[in-house]
Amino acid sequence: MDIHSEKIIILDFGSQTTQLIARRIREQKVYSEIHPYTLPLEKIKEMKPKGIVLSGGPASVYDDDAPLSDPALFDLGIPVLGICYGAQLMTHQLGGKVERAVKREFGKSDLELVYTGGLFAGMDTESRYQVWMSHGDRIETAPKGFVASAISEHSPMAAIRHEEKHFVGVQFHPEVAHTLIGNDVLRNFIFGICGCEPSWTMHSFIESTVVAIQEKVGSDKVICALSGGVDSAVTAALVHRAIGEQLTCIYVNNGLMRTGETKSLMKFFQEKTHLKVIDIDAEEYFLGELHSIVDPEEKRKLIGYGFIKIFEEEAKKLGDVNYLAQGTLYPDVIESVSFRGTAPIKSHHNVGGLPDIMKLDLIEPLRELFKDEVRELGLELGLPEEAIYRQPFPGPGLGIRIMGEVTKERLHILRQADVIVLEEMKKSEYYRKVWQSFAVLLPIQTVGVMGDERTYEHVVALRSVDSVDAMTADWSRLPYDLLGRISNRIINEVRGVNRVVFDISSKPPSTIEWE
Ligand code: XMP
C-alpha cells in the first residue's frame, strides 16, 4: 500500500501545538502533514486527503487580519476536524456565532458528553473527562446542521458536529498530554470519521523510500557527510540500503569531538555494513585555524568553513558525484515556512551551505520525519541503540564548549570532565531523560584547597537541559546526589579543575550551548 495514500492534512493557523497534532496522528500509523492555512484549494484536492484538521491559533475570528480558510474547503466532501481556533473558524465561516467568552478557559477543564458517537465513540455520558483548554473566544451558536456533542463549565458547545458532512469541532486540544482522552478523540476522527487505514509504519516507509531513492539516483554517485549524530547515520544507512556501493560517506574528524563519540558508530558501519566511509583526520588543521581565536562567532565560522573546504576536496577526489544526502528533518522543513505561508529568517546550522557551493542535488530522505520517527527508523535499519539514543551534539563540537581559546590542553581537560558527566548521567538513567547534558570549560581560574595546598585552577560548568525540540529548554532538575557525584568525580579525577558549577538558566533567554 502507498504509505501516503491515507493522508490527513493539517492546516496551520499558528498554534504552538500544531506539530503535536501531526505527531499524534502519525503515532496512530496514519501519515499526516502540516501546511500553512493559505494552501490553495487545488493543491488540497490533488493531495486527496482522507481528512483535514484545522489547527488552533492565537487569533480571534473577529480580528481584522484573522486567518480564514477558503470557504470552498467545506464543499470538498472531506471530513474536517476543527481544534480550538479551527472550531471557531469553522463555526464562523459556516454561519454560526463565536463570541468572547465571559470567562476565558485556560488549562484543565472537565468535559461532559451529550453524545457518545463520532469523536467520542467508546466513552460515556456519566464520566467527566479531563481536557486541556486554551481559548478566549467560544462557540455561542453552532452553524446550521451542527449540534453540540459535549459541554464544559464555560463552554456550552465544547464540541460540535455535523453528522452528514462529517465535520467536527472541539474547543479543547486533543493533541496535548493533559487531555486524557486526546488520543481516543484523534483515533475516532482518523479511523471512525475519515475511514483511514493504518499504513504509516517505518517498515513501509523504508520500502517506499528505498524505491524512491533508486529511481531518483539511477546509477549516479552520492556522498553523505557523517557527523556522528543520529540523523546523518540514519540517512546514510537508508541511502546505503537503496543504492549500496554508489554511496560514499565522508567523516571529518575536526579534533573537537567527544571522547569515543564516533568510534562506536564507525565500528558499526565498518563491521555491520559495507558502507564506504572516508575518514579524514583534520585535527591539526582545525586546531591550527582556531589558534588564538576567542570570539564565538569567529570560531563557528572557521569550523564551518574548514568542514566545507575538506568535504569539497574529498568530494572532488571522488569525481562525478551528483547528489548529496542530508539528514534534514520535518521540523526543519516546517519551521522554514510560517503559518502565513511566508519564509521567516532562519539561520542554518552546519552543512546548510554545502549544496549551493558544490552544485549537488539533494537527497533528504528524512524530510518527512520527526526525531522520534528517525530513531524508530534507525532501529528498524539495525543501527545500535547506543547510536540511536545519543544526545544531540553541535557541529562545532567542543570548540563552542571551551570558552576562550581552544587548545589541546584545554580540550583534554574538557574531554575528561565530559566523560564523567556522561558516565554518571547514563548510570543514573538521566541520560535519556534529558535533552542534553555536558560540561563546559570556563576561561577563569578560582582558588581552592586540595590536601594542604592552595590551588588556583579551572572551573567546569555543568549544563543539562530538558527540551522537546531545542527551540525552548529548561534546566534539568537533576537530583542533588547525582550533581554531587558528578562534581566530586570531576574535581578528584580531572587534573587542573578545582570547582564545578551548575547552570540554572532556561532558553530563552539563555541558549543551550554557551557559545
Ligand atoms: P542553542 O545553543 O542554539 O542550541 O540553544 C540548540 C540546539 O542546537 C545544537 N547546536 C548545533 N547543532 N550545529 C549543530 O548541528 C551547530 O552549529 C549547533 N549549535 C547549536 C545545540 O547542541 C542544541 O541541541
Mean pLDDT, consecutive 10-residue stretches, the chain (515 aa), reads 86 92 95 95 97 96 94 97 98 95 82 98 97 91 97 93 98 94 98 96 94 96 91 95 96 91 75 87 97 96 93 89 92 73 47 65 92 94 89 93 98 98 97 97 96 95 92 93 98 98 95 96
Greatest pairwise CA separation for the chain in angstroms: 85
For domain 407-502, give the fold.
Answer: GMP Synthetase; Chain A, domain 3 (3.30.300)
Comma-separated ranges of CATH 3.40.50.620 domains in the chain: 202-388
pLDDT value, residue 350: 44
Q: Is 467 annotated as a binding residue?
A: no
Distance 266 CA to ligand 1 centre (A): 23
Here the cell at position 375 is 530513531
Q: How far is the CA of 18 from the centre of ligand 1 (A)?
A: 23
> Cβ(513) to ligand 1 under 6 A?
yes
| Contacts made by residues 192-196, CB under 8 angstroms, sequence distance 24+ | 192/118, 192/119, 192/121, 193/51, 193/79, 193/81, 193/118, 193/119, 193/166, 193/168, 194/8, 194/50, 194/51, 194/79, 194/166, 195/50, 196/6, 196/8, 196/30, 196/50, 196/51
Q: Determine if ligand 1 sits within 6 Å of the CB of residue 394.
A: yes
Ligand 1 neighbour 507 (Cβ under 6 A):
yes
The pTM assigned to this predicted structure is 0.82
Q: What is the pLDDT of residue 212?
A: 95
Residue 211 confidence (pLDDT): 96
Q: For CATH 3.40.50.880, list the domain ranges present in the chain.
A: 7-193
Q: Which of 404, 394, 419, 417 is nearest to 470 (CA)?
A: 394
CA 394 – ligand 1 centroid, Å: 5
Look at residue 21 in the predicted model and tell me its pLDDT.
96
172 pairs with which residues across the strands?
A: 133
Quick one: pLDDT at residue 120?
98
Every domain range in the chain assigned CATH 3.30.300.10: 407-502
Residue 80 CA, chain-centre distance (Å), reads 26
| Atom nearest to 436 CA in ligand 1 | 24
Q: What is the CATH number of domain 7-193?
A: 3.40.50.880
165-199 pLDDT, tens per residue?
999 999 999 999 899 999 999 999 999 999 999 99
What pLDDT does residue 1 have? 60
Tell me the fold of 202-388: Rossmann fold (3.40.50)
Contacts of 39 (CB under 8 A, 6+ apart): 9, 11, 341
Point out the catalytic residue in the list 92, 162, 173, 458.
Answer: 173
